[in-house]
Chains A and B, each alone.
Chain A
Amino acid sequence: MAMSTMYPKYSTKMENDTVIMEQRLLKKVSNLVLNTTKCTGCGICSEVCPKDAIILGLVGAVRRGAVKDEAAISVDPAKCSYCGVCTILCPFDALEVRVDGEPSLPIKEQEGFPEYDFTAEIDENKCVRCTTCSEACPRDAIVRDIPVYEGEVADGAKRQTALDAVTTLVVDKEKCNVCGICASLCPALKIKRIPFTAEKVGSAGEVVWDESLCNACQVCATACPEHAIVVERVVKEGSKLAGKVTIDKETCVTCSWCEKVCPEEAVTIKKFFDGEIVFNADKCPGGCSTCVDICPCNAIYLPTPVPALQLKKDSIEPTIAVNADLCILCGACVNACPSEDVITIRRSGIHVKGPETDLFKSIAAKLCVPRSSKIQEDTFGQVELKPLE
């Protein structure tokens, strides 16, 4: 067999959570690796591919888990040039180019293409290490490096260690009759008793206190029959939980949930796309909610029905709605929507850092074409959108 028919050799294989596209030359092996758990079906890779090698498939069904063994996108390993533009522009970090098994982005290294420029920061001074942002984040991008306390898990760190405080416990030895009640109530207190002896019958000894175990709860002071114990705690001004809350920029998609919910206004997010998203609920057929299920930012919601008592003709809730403040204009909803003209996105700008090459400019222009979904597509089995001008 002639070499020309053997090389280059192309293949695609699915392994657990990855789809691996491969171009095998005689010595060099190039791979494009898709992480299907990270892929949201947003379609940016498909729009930006210089070789038109990527198409979108059953976005809604795949993201909902109704279709197994298939990814939201499929890449033609023969058309793909393994350039890495998709890898650079994927907001979800779902694609990776490997050459001979090693991550490789020569286009970036050689300054042939810029990367997203966005801000995702938490002001450590303002942050009080609360739990709000980490629970609200739809991407698990908040790194909450804080000790786990006993409120969360039974064997967590003792709650008194959360405070930067000085606690004192004073036992009035005159009053103390070494009855032992305080020690029987609290692990921070022990009785060092002088052993009972028939020689000198009585109760004597001292109370020993361990500050690290004391949470200044005052139970010992209150329970003491002789009122011999005084507990005081002085908390240092500005005491905060130990540790630090940060945002993992690899995972963050700039939805800004954390910024919106932070009670201390400690978060700053600057998105990587400018633009607008508009929902036309009158055209939504209802009963679908695919967009809600697949939105990587949890920005889409089914509005709550108005209670009957307040129900008026013009107060019927829309079928579908978006909170545009939380949207990152990724486009997954438009790709998944089975209806027409319900969702329109218009990107007006892309924030990047690095060289804005001609290749980038032509790609940016494609990303900025406004689009909506359409019902009847020309090619069966792949998403086609309706470009709007």
Chain B
Amino acid sequence: MTEILIKNGFVFDPVQGINGDKKDIAIKDGVIVESVSSAAKVIDASGMTVMAGGVDIHSHVAGAKVNVGRNFRPEDKLQAVYEPARGVRHMAGGNSVPTVFKTAYKYADMGYTTVMEAAMPPLYARHTHEEMRDTPIIDQAALPLFGNNWFILEYLKNGEMDNATAYISWLLRSTKGYGIKCVNPGGTEAWAWGLNCMTINDPVPYFEITPKEIVAGLIAANEALHLPHSLHLHGNNLGNPGNYQTTLDTLKIAEGFKPNNTFGRDQVLHHTHIQFHSYGGTTWADFESKGAEVMDYINKNPQLTCDIGFVTLDETTTMTGDGPFEYHLTALNHLKWANTDVEVECGSGIVPYVYSKDIYVCGVQWSIGLEMALLAKDHMRCYLTTDHPNAGPFTRYPRVMKWLMSEKARDEVFASMKSEDKVRDRSTLGGIDRELTLYEIAMMTRAGTAKALGFGGKLGGLVPGMQADVAVYPYNPETESDPEQIEWAFSNAKYLIKSGEVIINDSEIVSNGNKQTYWVDVKTKASTQVEHDLSEMFRKYYTVSERNYEVEEKSFMKNPNVIAIDATL
């Protein structure tokens, strides 16, 4: 197989503690190696930045609600005109909800090689896998939703942990899922009745279980199953002034739990798009940031990781498994609303949203995300996301990097706002002069996310033996001073290598790669109760049959990569 040598680049690899040293990276047979022969293809990375392939921990890129977003927003394509097919590239388009091809090309351009689909309705897992199969280049996995699932609510209410874990194992296998995602625990089930759970103590109708019990139960189940990733949580009360209290209450549930896995993961709870959960005030009139309070708690609690969900100040499309929140949103902005309740399992909603610089609330939301990231003490536990496309399209990651790395760039945004003073007044961002380094950005975008997802040792770094995912950016950290160059360079990788294959050569996509889809096959003790309940539920409540539920690898997946775990040991 091919050998590649990336010479003379400035290497940023927090896994090895390499901080901008000039170093060669050798690749052989798809993995990083110590050295290669003289026959190796040489890539000259002089004056450029070299990092491991990016790993996105949370992005809505495949499946039912993403496609509803594409379908019901034809106008989204006007913001980014379809590009015709060219070379290996298929036709691609869409802005906030791009097509599968555009998703792959844009991630590749940004040097990303692995993306986690954040919310997969189990019943619609086939849809998710079909879209992931058709998304070239990037390796993917999907997190099935558990926080409003009737089996889970029932087992956790009754304290039947063995049944909960046996069911989770069955569902991960059936849906070819990667881990446990929980969105608005209990609240989305309540939404099936037009209600919601606004705090962690509001019981779910009929099931009489609280969000607090659901979250604690899912963390316990996750660790009992030794899963590579932790519970991936979107808490209750998203997007409301004063919700930081709910968020702190939620994060405290993780106290006392210990990670239990062989994948190098140290957290027991990953709280996603924490920016949306760090709001103070009581109404939008006295709305203010409580990002400092929330980040302070996360800084002090090593059992937690978070991603931010940076607001990018764009017109975008919101889409989430949090059905009641989306209804709340359409009542606020009167834009079109789609909703899907999924039998027995979960729900979702979709509403377009314009984060305008002229609206002070949007400005404060923008500040909160940056404030939190700049107050984070450990960027191995605080990650860069936009909850794509909820807070903005993923294609803005380089712009977020610019804001994080340049106070000047942040001040320019402040100055362009209609209510600059008010926005500055409602968060501490204006008083923060910290500028993140490329080393910290590498933590936020590859080393940290790979570790939290349980890919540590394989992805997120440039250690010999790791998968050879390498991005080379046309950015000279020694000489560059213009923050705009950060945004441009990280949007236009000069070279991208994935699993040892050249995907981008001299800024041109030259291969659709050999994408993989990860899933977790975890063995548990057989539970006759769960077997009975499954057959009963499918017979009585599902519109599909049990035998027609499973996602078969052969039909729906390209290059499945099974992570096998024996949780009976």
Chain B 173-190, CB-CB to A under 8 Å as 1, else 0, gives 000000000000000001
Q: Does A312 contact B (CB under 8 A)?
A: yes
Other than the known A308-B195, A313-B207, what 9 A-B pairs have Cβ atoms closer than 8 Å? A308-B190, A308-B193, A308-B194, A308-B205, A309-B195, A309-B205, A313-B206, A313-B208, A316-B206
Contacts of B190 in A (CB 8 A): 308
Q: When chains A and B are docked, how far (Å) is the Cα of A17 from the Cα of B206?
A: 49
As a 0/1 sequence over residues 204 to 241 of chain B, the CB contacts with chain A under 8 angstroms (1 = contact) are: 01111000000000000000000000000000000000
Which residues on B are within 8 Å of A, measured CB to CB? 190, 193-195, 205-208
1/0 contact string of A62-101 vs chain B (CB within 8 Å): 0000000000000000000000000000000000000000
Query: Which A residues lie within 8 Å of B206 (CB)?
Result: 308, 311-313, 316
> How far does the alpha carbon of A308 sit from the alpha carbon of B208 in the complex, in Å?
11
- Residues from chain A with a CB closer than 8 A to the CB of B207 are 313
When distances are taken between beta carbons in the complex, the residues of chain A under 8 Å from B205 are: 308-309, 311
Q: CA of A311 to CA of B111 in the docked complex: distance in angstroms?
A: 50
* Interface core residue of B193, B195, B205 (most chain A CB under 10 Å): B205
A313 CA / B205 CA spacing, docked (Å) = 9
A313: B residues at CB distance < 8 A: 206-208
Q: How far is the CA of A311 from the CA of B189 in the complex (A)?
A: 13
Main DSSP-derived SS at the B contact region: loop
With a cutoff of 8 Å between Cβ atoms, the chain B residues found around residue A312 in the complex are 206, 208
How many residues on chain A are close to B (CB under 8 Å)?
A: 6
Of chain A, the residue at the smallest CB distance from B154 is A313
Q: How far is the CA of A308 from the CA of B195 in the complex (A)?
A: 8
Residues of chain A in range 265-319 having any CB-CB distance to chain B below 8 Å? 308-309, 311-313, 316
Contacts of B208 in A (CB 8 A): 312-313
Considering the complex, give the chain B residue whose CB is closest to the CB of A310: B205
Could you name 5 residue pairs across A and B whose Cβ atoms are closer than 8 Å? A308-B193, A308-B206, A311-B193, A311-B205, A313-B206
Residues of A within 8 A of B194 (CB): 308
Closest A residue, CB atoms, query B190: A308
**A95 CB to nearest chain B CB (Å):** 45
Segment 303-361 of A: residues with Cβ below 8 Å from B? 308-309, 311-313, 316
A57 to B207 CA separation, bound complex (whole angstroms): 44
Residue ID in chain A nearest B193 by CB atoms: A308
Residue of A nearest to B195 (CB): A308
Complex CA–CA separation, A308 to B192 (angstroms)? 9
Closest to B192 in A: A308
Instruction: Give the CA-CA distance A308 to B191 in the complex, in Å.
Output: 10
Q: How far is the CA of A312 from the CA of B206 in the complex (A)?
A: 4
Instruction: Name the distance in Å between A317's Cβ and chain B's nearest Cβ.
Output: 12
Quote the shortest CB–CB distance from B247 to chain A (angstroms). 25
Give the shortest distance, in Å, between A153 (CB) and chain B (any CB).
Answer: 43
Residues of B within 8 A of A311 (CB): 193, 205-206
A306 to chain B, nearest CB (A): 9
CA–CA, A131 and B499, complex, Å: 86
Q: Which of A309, A311, A312, A316 is the most central at the interface, judged by chain B CB atoms within 10 Å of its CB?
A: A311
Cα distance, A311 to B207, chains bound together (Å): 8
A159 to B207, CA, bound (A): 56
Report Cα–Cα, A147/B25, bound state, in Å.
105
Q: Give min CB distance, A287 to chain B, whole Å.
A: 13
